[in-house]
Amino acid sequence: MIANARSAFPKAFSQVSRWLNCRNRRRSMMLASIVAMASWSIASSGSAQQLFMGDVADNSVKQFDLQTGVTSIFIEPKSAGLNGPTGMIFSQGQLYVVNQNVNTGQRGEVLKFDGATGTFIGKLISSSDINAPFAPRGIVLGTDSSFYVASMLSKPGKCANAGSVNVYNNSGVFQYSLAPDPRQFPHVFHPRGVVFAPDGTLYVTAIGCLDPTDPDYDPSSDPLAGYVLTFRRPASGGNLVFDKVLASNSGNSVPYLHRPEGLVVDNQGNLWVTSFRSDSTAPTDTDKLLKLNGQNGSLLAKIELDTKANKPHPNPPRAPAQAIILGPGGDLFVPISGTDSNTAGELLRCNVSTLQCSVLIKPYGDLQPGHPDSTQMPWYLIFKTSNPATLQYTN
């Protein structure tokens, strides 16, 4: 009967057959599309859970998978001359790593690695460039596609060689530098951390002169002083310009602000900043994270990273965080360095509401010290999906 129908109505049967085939193809394509979207979603989610940490102990970049809890090497020690990894950001499928070139007398640089494999690609900024940053630390990528790099010094030597925030275009060509107005900031400017707020304000942490043998060292003031400064773009447009000193430990506005470096702006517009203990003999001070009002710099809360009350030793080991990053749930992810074998190499996850922290990676990455995959002195860190300007976490 079917055969007869086909022979009797060949054109109609052919049309029906084509319609059925077409429908099946569409269904297959839709199914394939759904599977592909699901796979992309899973891959995207997995990618978002990848955290990368620069380890200054062996000059490598370690990768930590939040879903599996596994730590591994992403960039091998000393790859491409890596010597003092600090600030890191992901952009356009590449991982940009600031390289200090520690104890070489050379300027720093910014290295590019493949964001999927960790393979060295090239240098965005080379140490041979006369405008390369010296002793660089933090890095962010502005919405103007320019790289902002904190350069602690203008050249090696004394504290008077003040630093700046250097701005480079997306090809690594120097554009201009940022420094505070000396009438409003009568100190030597040594910037360390940089981050943009969603409104385009650039926050910069800075320290004073730390060398007691230096002529610019001022023992009458706090030698471990810390500052947070802001830079804004004028309403008329153009380059960023100095705005104000948002916070300082001078005059007790934020008494705990010592040698700040890493900083991020949370979803409520509050500024979180790392702060070291003031000195080795301070009877009650601790290494901390400080929560500041993002508009006026006032101290809102603090998270203590070490507790001297639990350490009767008069000069207890340290447990500082050099940098921090925002992650899933708006939590802070905090790598611990320092000299305390009970905490060095830890990765903490801290809730910004409860101020409570949990340990994600135990000291030395749950491995024996010296193991190639262990995390020993983690400083800067970044999620694969972190916004390269605000450092806020995205899925």
What are 100-126's pLDDT values in tens digits? 999 998 999 999 999 999 999 999 999
For residues 123 and 243, state if they share a domain: yes
How many folded domains does the chain comprise? 2
pLDDT for res 221: 57
For residues 280 and 371, state if they share a domain: yes
For residues 3 and 124, state if they share a domain: no
CB 371 within 8 A of CB 362: no
pLDDT for res 315: 63
Q: Which of 365, 307, 354, 299 is nearest to 332 (CA)?
A: 354
For residues 12 and 93, state if they share a domain: no
394, part of any domain? no
82, part of any domain? yes
| Average pLDDT of the residues of the chain | 84
pLDDT for res 354: 96
CA–CA distance, 68 with 90 (Å, rounded to integer): 22
CA–CA distance, 163 with 148 (Å, rounded to integer): 13
Query: Alpha carbon 163 to chain centroid distance?
Result: 20
181, part of any domain? yes
For residues 67 and 156, state if they share a domain: yes
Residue 371: Cβ within 10 Å count:
13
276, part of any domain? yes
For residues 2 and 58, state if they share a domain: no
For residues 201 and 334, state if they share a domain: yes
CATH number at residue 286: 2.120.10.30
**Least confident range of 52-61, 251-260, 302-311:** 302-311
pLDDT for res 66: 93
Determine what percent of the chain is predicted with pLDDT higher than 90.
61
What are 33-46's pLDDT values in tens digits? 433 333 333 345 56
What are 265-280's pLDDT values in tens digits? 999 999 999 999 876 5
For residues 203 and 297, state if they share a domain: yes
For the chain, what percentages of helix, strand and coil (3-state, to nearest 5) are there? 15, 35, 50
For residues 236 and 250, state if they share a domain: yes
What are 216-231's pLDDT values in tens digits? 776 655 556 899 999 9
For residues 276 and 326, state if they share a domain: yes
CB 155 within 8 A of CB 146: no
pLDDT band of residue 344 (cuts 50, 70, 90) is confident
pLDDT band of residue 197 (cuts 50, 70, 90) is very high
Q: E-assigned strands of 208-362?
A: 226-232, 241-248, 263-265, 271-275, 288-292, 299-304, 325-326, 332-335, 347-350, 357-361
- In this predicted structure, the answer to whether residue 172 has a pLDDT above a threshold of 90 is yes
For residues 26 and 66, state if they share a domain: no
CA–CA distance, 140 with 193 (Å, rounded to integer): 9
pLDDT for res 373: 60
What are 299-343's pLDDT values in tens digits? 999 999 976 545 555 566 678 999 999 999 999 999 998 877 788
Range of the domain at 37: 1-48
257, part of any domain? yes
